[in-house]
Amino acid sequence: MDTQACPHPSAPSALPPSPDGRGNLPPLDVLSDFPAIPAGWHYLDSAVSAQKPRVVIDAIERGYAQDYAAVHRGVYQRSADMTLTYEAARKRVAEFINGKPEEIVFVRGATEAINLVAHSWVSEQLKAGDRILLSVLEHHSNIVPWQLVAERIGVEIDVVPLTDDGRIDLDAMAAMITPAHKLVALAHVSNVLGSVLDAKRATEIAHSVGAKILLDGCQAVPRMPVDVAEIGCDFYVFSGHKLYGPTGIGVLWGRYDLLDAMPPYQGGGSMIDRVTFAKTTYAPAPGRFEAGTPHIVGVVGLHAAIDYVESIGLERIHAHETALVAATRERLSRINSVRLFGPEDSAGIVSFAVEGVHPHDVATILDESRVAIRAGHHCAQPLMEALGVPATARASFGVYSSMADVEALGEAVERVTRIFG
């Protein structure tokens, strides 16, 4: 295999030193790896999409400028090399979450992954009168596909409430789940509150009545280690662009026996075994779910992104972001007119409101101070209704974030309160 076709990204250019004698890790210092973050700009919107490290950008550039060829088609050397690169990325993704390569389906993002399951598994396995269990804090992408299923085949949807501090209430889930529930779909980490699901317990509750469980891992995989074998779930989905990778690429992991029994989601090239006008037979999973020419270089970029975060260490990243969350909550709590949402130990995300100020105005004024946050309902309108607000302001962190970002956020929010009196 041509080694240029499957480059292994280097470690971060500013990888932090080893722990000190007391076991404490110094803050991460990798900002120089991210060319799109200029000096003095405080990017606190990683939950919507993470900035890209130079190694990912370089891998994408090489993929198009030096190594590019279609995969799974050509017999010439370049195509064969790129096919090996593509499949090596599948293996890398599987290792990343402790799955198997044949259980990894490349899709455009988590939204498509959920829709794939809704179309190909739920539509085949559920019937009128069956039930699906969601939670109050789900992203619209983990609500609307199931509503479409409900409208199409007549299943019912139930909703698990939250605890007072914004976690999915697993005691309530255990009390309300029944054998009529055939699927549970929950966020591993809330994109608004940062609350972390006890995924293993949620899985055990689902399996206790014979239900399958899908976990939305978009906010989890950039922030903490994920082991689907340890969790025991049935489907797991995430997007590449939140994991410091490119847009337009995502992952569906599913137990192979489930994937193997599912019909195709789309028809086209690559996903077939043999086509005649009388009958078409399909490739085994995961190929049957990857119709058409895939996002080849997106897969290469995702491989580089996974190598990058694991060169730092997901435990290290989680500890770094947890410290920033704690500092942010402490800093904003000093401002009397600020209301904080979610648990104290949220993962990399802090949502808040400033009394008497719409979150859009908060975000606009913060932008004047070169602090970039998200404001709105964050594709979680049922959660906003439960919180009793139309929207929130949200600061979310990444490996490049620092205490300087926290202080800049605090100073900018204080400016908001002065402007609005």
Res. 4: pLDDT tops 60: no
pLDDT of residue 124: 87
DSSP 187-210: ESB-TTT-PBP-HHHHHHHHHHTT
Res. 364: pLDDT tops 50: yes
- Mean pLDDT over 241-246 rounds to 98
Q: Please state the domain extents for the chain.
A: 77-309, 315-420
What residues form DSSP beta bridges with 375?
393
What residues form DSSP beta bridges with 303?
none
- Mean pLDDT over 251-274 rounds to 94
- Mean pLDDT over 161-167 rounds to 97
pLDDT of residue 25: 56
Q: What is the distance between the alpha carbons of residues 55 and 7, in angstroms, rounded to a whole number?
A: 10
Q: State pLDDT tens for residues 10-19.
A: 334 333 333 3
Res. 344: pLDDT tops 70: yes
Question: Is the bond preceding 286 in cis, omega lying within 30 degrees of 0?
Answer: yes
Mean pLDDT across the chain, nearest whole number? 93
Q: State pLDDT tens for residues 67-104.
A: 999 999 888 999 999 999 999 999 999 999 999 999 99
Q: What is the distance between the alpha carbons of residues 107 and 169, in angstroms, rounded to a whole number?
A: 31
DSSP, collapsed to helix, strand or coil, labels residue 136 as coil
Q: Which of 228, 229, 257, 214 is nearest to 115 (CA)?
A: 214
pLDDT of residue 26: 63
- Residue pair 213/206 in contact by the 8 Å Cβ criterion: yes
- Residues 315-420: name the CATH superfamily: Aspartate Aminotransferase, domain 1 (3.90.1150.10)
Q: Which CATH class is domain 77-309?
A: alpha beta
Q: Which of 355, 107, 364, 346 is nearest to 250 (CA)?
A: 107
Catalytic residues: 379
- Mean pLDDT over 337-358 rounds to 97
pLDDT of residue 14: 35
- Beta strand 181-187 pairing with 131-135: parallel
Instruction: Return the minimum-mean-pLDDT range out of 122-126, 176-180, 189-193, 287-291.
Output: 122-126
**Which H/E stretch holds residue 339?**
strand 338-341
- For residue 28, what pLDDT band results from cuts at 50, 70 and 90? confident
Structure tokens at 239: 């997007």
Q: State pLDDT tens for residues 325-339.
A: 999 999 999 999 999
